[in-house]
Amino acid sequence: MLPKLLVNENFPAPSTALLRAAGCDVLAIAETHASLPDPEVMALACAQNRWLITFDRDYGELLFGRRLPAPPAVILIREPHYRSHEPAQWLLPLLAQPETIVGSFVVLTRDSLRRRPLLRVLGASL
């Protein structure tokens, strides 16, 4: 079973469509909660038990600096240039093996993946 996802406002719509076509349950901030502040985006991901997918580096500070409650997984995509459908293509192999990602802060590029364990805060759930 594929994990539920929350894609941040900066995630490209064509990739959102590809993830949905692949059977993913995707909540897109751009469609439902435009301009929601980052801490509230993360709280929403926690409340709905969704993996957070973003291009925004601020989430690392929120998780590791401010120690806000973490969703099941956070994937930060760090790729300066890409076609709008590519992020979905990079994510789909990861989503097929959720046990390798859950509980992690992942930095993903087209060529690499780095994982760091998330700090679990009371109120956050896997």
Q: Residue ranges per domain, the chain?
A: 5-117
- 74/50 Cα distance (integer angstroms): 9
Q: Taking 80 as the threshold, does the pLDDT of residue 2 lie above it?
A: yes
Write out pLDDT tens, residues 31-75: 999 999 999 999 999 999 999 999 999 999 999 999 999 999 999
For the chain, what percent of residues have pLDDT higher than 90?
93
List the 113-117 sheet strands across, edge first: 26-28, 5-7, 51-54, 74-77, 104-108, 113-117
Q: Is CATH 3.40.50 the classification given to domain 5-117?
A: yes
